[in-house]
Structure 1
């Protein structure tokens, strides 16, 4: 337990890993990031995220059930809100099959008692009366899960980061916490280069840098595709906050999703549904040619960006269709949120193949579904660190995976941010 461990990234995977390693008795854990913990660039640095168990992949259905139980621990009081959620489709066959398979996986796990099939306005409004004015509800069909809900994401990161610090984890931010590359000696990692010019050294390293991973290590770019999604908020009155208090999460695969209002700000968060955007600024020399790949254009570096006009229009269309009582209100706090996809939506957890000594462990590739596992994902990354099979699952290992479409994201074209009006000053590809 005396080995020194350096974790790069203080988002969902990094903080959870630091916490679980410290709980196991490791005493020399350092977590670095450009920003103080929790990282401003983390996808989870957000007002709220959905906590649910519906997966068409049996592995994640099982892990999500475990995570949901963990969210019920008293340490998450006032952070996890078990409001239930309703997840639907307007009829897309792939989305409908996804929901059917998700139900079957929960049934096999003995977790289907709290699931109801819903179809049409009457059945949906029975669970979510707040959307009685929504248009086209008779075309919606899907699942109602009374045990799901949402968590205050930023507060959850801060809570677990504080718990990790109390256990002795050291957090470093600023230039000294900003990784710029690896120091290597042949096929061995000897340190982490930082923006301050210093090299940080440890016995082992864990890369938990999320969407920034391919920017930091370009050789990861064939395995990872950094994409961003858009969100915004509308302001509710005090009376409306009370009216919508406890509202289940409403998610429609073709339109988007929204939550009950934040009791402090009175904001309701709304996300439109689409395949995501990219920012193809990275360059990687591979097989004799230079390839462009997507890297994050973080809001922390470009606060002037906001969101594309087309995304704002999509969010307003969602409001007009699902919550027309809020139509015409200004969109507040509009921004983009970066994740990094793998070809098959399985996470990338395991040793970096270029360094057979095992001193560099990869823990990234959230694929847009990492946060709900905050209380538990670090346990599996810690298992991988210790060489245990439970953390070194074949699904998570570096391999030649084949890209396929995620049925929960409508559309097939991932546009570049330049093409939708963001970063116009940069040169065209």
Structure 2
């Protein structure tokens, strides 16, 4: 993106497309910097129910194989620890365990080495076998295979109540003057390009064209759907999740446990005291929905994945094989809840870049359109700071215009924390579609 030399007028009109993790954080940070003409649109009211961040909880971790995200995660952790996030951020720590998966052991080793390089490995304790694991999570005493587990416990990090965090900063951004628009007037349908090929505005479902001096696209998994040229840069996928409902006694027993991440099977969190729900996620390569279609100049058609959101398809649930996987996690990790009904099952949509780096860069044809997407499964943990980096990119600061986040020429690199490689289509694993 062409440098603005940090001299953007605070009266500049800014249109943010997407009221999720990237969009709300960006709106908040821009408003804090004094920008007074910010509008954020989404088809849903703020925060968008379609956002991956609209969720009960998300992991806050510092372990990464990529040094850049170790640096950012530590910065974000310091931000989460501020008093404003009391009751939303819970520093319970995180335990990562495996039964000997080579990929898991490599992830643990590289993550530890990166934290050690910056003097932050002192909070990590390696664990192996039942006695060591139960020192940190005694609630796992009935796990049938716990004797064969190994991994580490990191007391830094834990989880955040994601939905409440989005609501908090969405409301504060609005108090600072950010306008949030939803419904047909907030639903992007495409770019308005004039006869000279210049971006002339954003088309929305109402038929209107919205105009601004600068545009920021932060539409997450919907990015390839609203901007099909991004289908070559991003891959929209979803991951299944479900919950078990605990009794009041069980709620007390499991309160305060660290995030338990069984690399081979999935992960869970301490139960939510308001709903008594305990969230469980399947650790898989994700699912796609190749219902997006496009045709190139030569007339050749192609398909790409677009989100099939629960907000418009509430009957979908999760694939039967995902239900079985979540139940396998329960049987292996907390058999106290085996056979218990799974409730509020759904899929969570994210969008991956080829190398798991974010996409924060100008559109290749329209310099006034900043792309801010490609969460790659590690954006919400950066929620308190990600909007600052996007604002930096808008202003032309090098801190927001990193080489790793540039548009195009990405090399495919498998995500270190995701087991398996086969990304199935939802239509092939669900009788509902």
Q: TM-score, normalised by structure 1?
A: 0.97
Cα distance in 2 for partners of 1:341, 1:121 equals 36
Which residue is equivalent to 2:362?
A: 351
How far does residue 139 in structure 1 lie from its aligned partner after superposition?
Answer: 2.6
Which residue is equivalent to 2:184?
A: 175
1:12-55 deviations in whole A, cap 9, x for unaligned? Answer: 00000000011111000000001000000000100000001000
Q: For 1:313, which of 310, 324, 336 is the aligned residue? A: 324
Q: For 2:199, which of 159, 166, 189 is the aligned residue? A: 189
Cα distance in 2 for partners of 1:73, 1:381 equals 21
Q: Secondary structure at the match of 2:222?
A: helix
Cα distance in 1 for partners of 2:431, 2:309 equals 12
Which residue is equivalent to 2:22?
A: 13
Which residue is equivalent to 1:293?
A: 304
Which residue is equivalent to 2:112?
A: 103
Cα distance in 2 for partners of 1:377, 1:206 equals 13
Cα distance in 2 for partners of 1:287, 1:311 equals 39
Which residue is equivalent to 2:314?
A: 303
How far does residue 287 in structure 1 lie from its aligned partner after superposition?
Answer: 6.8
Q: Secondary structure at the match of 2:274?
A: coil
Q: Secondary structure at the match of 2:120?
A: coil
Cα distance in 1 for partners of 2:348, 2:432 equals 16
Q: For 1:326, which of 324, 332, 337 is the aligned residue? A: 337
How far does residue 236 in structure 1 lie from its aligned partner after superposition?
Answer: 0.4
Which 10-residue stretch deviates more, 414-423 or 247-256?
Answer: 414-423
1:128 is aligned to 2:144:
no
Cα distance in 1 for partners of 2:34, 2:413 equals 40
Cα distance in 1 for partners of 2:146, 2:198 equals 58
1:229 is aligned to 2:239:
yes
What stretches of structure 1 of length at least 5 have no aligned partner?
Answer: 425-429
Which residue is equivalent to 1:427?
A: none
Distance 1:231 1:199, change over 3 A: same
Q: Secondary structure at the match of 2:321?
A: helix
1:384-423 deviations in whole A, cap 9, x for unaligned? Answer: 0001100000000002112222121111100000110154
How far does residue 234 in structure 1 lie from its aligned partner after superposition?
Answer: 0.5
Q: Contact 1:188/1:359 (CA < 8 Å) preserved in 2?
A: no
How far does residue 123 in structure 1 lie from its aligned partner after superposition?
Answer: 1.1
1:17-96 mapped onto 2 (5 Å cutoff): 17-96=26-105
Cα distance in 2 for partners of 1:422, 1:79 equals 37
What stretches of structure 2 of length at least 5 have no aligned partner?
Answer: 1-9
1:162 is aligned to 2:166:
no
User: C-alpha root-mean-square deviation of aligned residues, in Å?
Assistant: 1.0
Show structure 1 runs of 4+ deviating over 3 A.
none
Q: TM-score, normalised by structure 2?
A: 0.96
Cα distance in 2 for partners of 1:69, 1:158 equals 20
1:318-344 deviations in whole A, cap 9, x for unaligned? Answer: 101100000111100000100000000
Which residue is equivalent to 1:272?
A: 282
Q: Contact 1:52/1:148 (CA < 8 Å) preserved in 2?
A: yes
How far does residue 284 in structure 1 lie from its aligned partner after superposition?
Answer: 2.3
Cα distance in 1 for partners of 2:191, 2:331 equals 49
Which residue is equivalent to 2:376?
A: 367
How far does residue 184 in structure 1 lie from its aligned partner after superposition?
Answer: 1.4
Q: Contact 1:82/1:148 (CA < 8 Å) preserved in 2?
A: yes
How far does residue 303 in structure 1 lie from its aligned partner after superposition?
Answer: 0.0
Which residue is equivalent to 1:212?
A: 222
Cα distance in 2 for partners of 1:101, 1:284 equals 40
Q: Secondary structure at the match of 1:221?
A: helix
Which residue is equivalent to 1:142?
A: 151
The size of the alignment, in residue pairs, is 422
Q: Secondary structure at the match of 2:398?
A: coil
1:132-164 deviations in whole A, cap 9, x for unaligned? Answer: 111222332222111211000000000011111
Cα distance in 1 for partners of 2:109, 2:266 equals 19
Cα distance in 1 for partners of 2:198, 2:35 equals 23
Q: Secondary structure at the match of 1:159?
A: helix
